[in-house]
Amino acid sequence: MTTKHSVTIEWKDSAHSVLIAGDFSNWQGIGTKRSDKGFSLELNLPEGTYQYKYVVDGTWKYRSDQMTFVDPQSGNINNVIKVGDVLSQKPDQPKKQQKVTGYEAEAGEDGFDYDKLINEFGTTRIDDALIQI
């Protein structure tokens, strides 16, 4: 039996509606819960690496403050989560749910381990000055 991990994906910017789509849903949008802190979706996923994107008020978006992957053929940018590797406990449910925060490490100024991402996906990080949303 495959162990599944509870992960939370969040959108904290203002919006009327937010869906989250990824390779875990065959890129079909999944509705989120709205709260005073934004929108969130909790998923139970087996260990692995997943790409996803937000559909915010009908527009496909990614969060530049989260780990991203650039498809070398299309140039499409998606967010990435690694489940079962780098996890931090959710304070309100310490043993039942975990929150995936990306490729955290002490290596980079922004806390991401880019060498690990490059080795896994064979890509490089986009310069923040080139990102347009």
What CATH number corresponds to the domain at position 61? 2.60.40.10
pLDDT value, residue 2: 78
Dihedral class, residue 84 (left if φ above 0, else alpha if ψ from -120 to 50, else beta):
left
Neighbours of 23 (CB within 10 A): 12
pLDDT value, residue 77: 96
pLDDT in tens, the chain (133 residues): 778 999 999 999 999 999 999 999 999 999 999 999 999 999 999 999 999 999 999 999 999 999 999 988 889 999 999 998 544 444 444 433 334 444 444 344 445 555 665 566 555 555 555 444 4
Mode of pairing for the β-strands spanning 59-61 and 48-56 = antiparallel
State how many domains the chain has. 1
pTM value is: 0.63
Domain, as residue range, for 52? 4-130
- Of the candidates 49, 79, 75, 43, the residue with the CA atom closest to the CA atom of residue 61: 79
